[in-house]
Amino acid sequence: MASLAGKTAVILGASGSANFGSAIARRLAAEGANTVVSARRAEPLTQLASELGGTAVQCDVTREGDIELLFKQALETHGRVDIAVFSAGIHSGVAIADLTAEAIRPTAEISFIGALLFFRYAAEAMRDGGSVITVSSLTARIPGPGLAVYSAARAGIDYATKVAAVEYGERRVRFNSIAAGLIQTDMTDDFFAMQSIIDAHINATPCGRMGTLDDMAEAALFLADERRSGYINGQVLDLAGGQQNGRLPRF
CA atoms within 13 A on the CB side of 51: 18
Specify whether 150 is catalytic: yes
3-state secondary structure 11-47: EECCCCCCCHHHHHHHHHHHCCCEEEEEECCHHHHHH
Yes or no: say if 133 and 176 are a contact pair by the CB < 8 Å rule: yes
Residue among 150, 159, 168, 231 flagged as catalytic: 150
What DSSP designation does 79 have? S
Contacts of 50 (CB under 8 A, 6+ apart): none
**How do beta strands 83-86 and 235-239 pair?**
unpaired
Dihedral angle sign, alpha carbons of residues 226, 120, 49, 8: positive
Whole-number Å distance between alpha carbons of 36 and 21: 11
What does residue 127 show for φ and ψ, rounded to 5 degrees?
-75, -20
| Helix, strand or coil, per DSSP, at residue 146 | coil
| Helix, strand or coil, per DSSP, at residue 239 | strand
Whole-number Å distance between alpha carbons of 228 and 218: 11
Largest CA distance in the chain: 60
Active site residues: 150
